[in-house]
Amino acid sequence: MTPEEFRQAGYAVVDWIADYWATLPQRPVTSQDPPGTVAAELPPRPPTQGEPVEAILTDLGKLVAPRLTHWQHPGFFGYFPANTSGPSVLGDLVSAGLGVQGMLWATGPACTELETVMLDWLAEALDLPARFRSTGRGGGVIQDSASSATLVATLVALHRAAGGRWREVGVDRRYRVYTSTEAHSSVEKAARIAGLGSDGVRLIEVDPTTRAMSPTALRAAIEADQAAGLVPALVVATVGTTSTTAVDPLPQIGPICAGYGVFLHVDAAYAGAAAVCPELRFGHAGLEYADSYCFDPHKWLLTGFDCDAFWVADTGELVEALTVLPEYLRNAATESGAVIDYRDWQVPLGRRFRALKLWFVLRWYGVEGLREHIRRGVALAARFADRVRADDRFELVAPHPYALVCFRLRGPDGPNEELLARVNATGRVFLTHTRVAGRYTLRLAVGSPQTTETHVDEAWALICEAAASATPA
């Protein structure tokens, strides 16, 4: 493909994406085809001769697009949002076109330096504690996901707990990780990958109403483990849990971690984005105690997957834990100590130029534009919650500080499961579920910039209709 051929094909692809976005509201949110449908329609072997881009685009529209869950759809209310945006796609396109592999500062100086500045910009936008800025001992890096951020935090915490000897001697079975019963599954996964096994994770009980970690129970677990000769290494606190967006109390958890010398990682994968709005920064109270922090711009900040922003307060400790320097990567810039080599801040060696999409997003929307996006989502969720609150058949199951509403029909689980299936089968909206204190609960998460009052009201109308037929009078 010559540059001129690329130009023509590229215009066609951009047109295809723009048409896709424009026609989203008319599409069913999820595919109703059975497993294997797509595979059965694809040729069993690759073409012998090359094909024009038009042929690929035709099949994209016919075979692929109808068999997707449309995450950008205005009726998508499932899980947490994973929203992209025009500027994010364009930044990613430039990254793909440049094809830079930014493992070292020397392999793409602007790739590294733009990332450092973007993470400082984001820290400013969220008003994160000064200790995370690159102007001091701290700094930020883009990971592929919050799961990777938690894994890296776990490895650094183990290095610290082992007195700076983890990278030489690894771990033994005495190390312990603490997180709440409501924490994301990536905490257990990180502990397993790090060699602690799931037995190395202590699940701390939560307050039955707020679903937030109990500081008293945390302290008791750490003390009991210490008394038993175990080594408390890491606490993972959550700001905005996946199930209900509960906020663990950092002002109480922080001093406990500091008192026992335990590393504190704060996982704000979804809710962190809300902190671009000054009035939505309550979850970050006490964040100055954290050794590391992450949130996903790829969830609620109009930046396409993959983009997790991860900060540490002490980059020296992070690099010490993860660095390896084979001869073939030696270079003068690294040896000078004057540059950042992001390969030492993550698990893989190689990395894409992901800072470009953040740069495009932050410059296109500005912080004010991002605040508007977040505030719109919070207001739409509040509107929906008002409907639920006003209807005696339903109950709100948890507070809704952000843009997720957890609700259910009063009574047993069965009619709730049936309700969710009926509503999703309409193809107009897509909601998912969770369990809160054992009870089947529906989740409605607002996040798409295309979602308006009309879509939220339609979701409520469909839910009411389904409720009428799911619960015999």
Ligand X SMILES: *Cc1c(COP(=O)(O)O)cnc(C)c1O
Binding site residues, ligand X, CB under 6 A? 80, 145-147, 184, 186, 238, 241-242, 267, 269-270, 296, 308
SS (H, E, C) the chain: CCHHHHHHHHHHHHHHHHHHHHHHHHCCCCCCCCCCHHHHHCCCCCCCCCCCHHHHHHHHHHHHHHHCCCCCCCCECCCCCCCCCHHHHHHHHHHHHHCCCCCCHHHCHHHHHHHHHHHHHHHHHCCCCHHHCCCCCCEEEEECCHHHHHHHHHHHHHHHHCCCCHHHHCCCCCEEEEEECCCCCHHHHHHHHCCCCHHHEEEECECCCCCCECHHHHHHHHHHHHHCCCEEEEEEEEECCCCCCCECCHHHHHHHHHHHCCEEEEECCCHHHHHHCHHHCHHHCCHHHCCEEEECHHHHCCCCCCCEEEEECCHHHHHHHHCCCCHHHCCHHHHHCCCCCHHHHCCCCCCCCCHHHHHHHHHHHHHHHHHHHHHHHHHHHHHHHHHHHCCCCEEECCCCCCCEEEEEECCCCHHHHHHHHHHHHCCCCECEEEEECCEEEEEEECCCCCCCHHHHHHHHHHHHHHHHHHCCC
Q: Do residues 280 and 101 touch, judged by C-beta distance below 8 A?
A: no
The nearer residue to ligand X, 307 or 419, going by C-beta atoms, is 307
Closest separation between CB of residue 459 and ligand X, Å? 21
Closest separation between CB of residue 77 and ligand X, Å? 15
Closest separation between CB of residue 432 and ligand X, Å? 12
Closest separation between CB of residue 241 and ligand X, Å? 6
**CA atoms in the 13 A half-sphere facing the CB of 327:** 0
Q: Which two tokens stand for residue 257?
A: 């971690």
Closest separation between CB of residue 326 and ligand X, Å? 29
Closest separation between CB of residue 442 and ligand X, Å? 17
What residues are paired with 142 via a beta bridge? 309
Closest separation between CB of residue 184 and ligand X, Å? 3
Among residues 144, 155, 148, 103, which one has the least CA distance to residue 349?
A: 103
The nearer residue to ligand X, 299 or 343, going by C-beta atoms, is 299
Closest separation between CB of residue 294 and ligand X, Å? 8
Token pair 């009980």 is found at 205
The nearer residue to ligand X, 162 or 301, going by C-beta atoms, is 301
Among residues 443, 432, 430, which one has the least CA distance to residue 398?
A: 443
The nearer residue to ligand X, 215 or 447, going by C-beta atoms, is 447
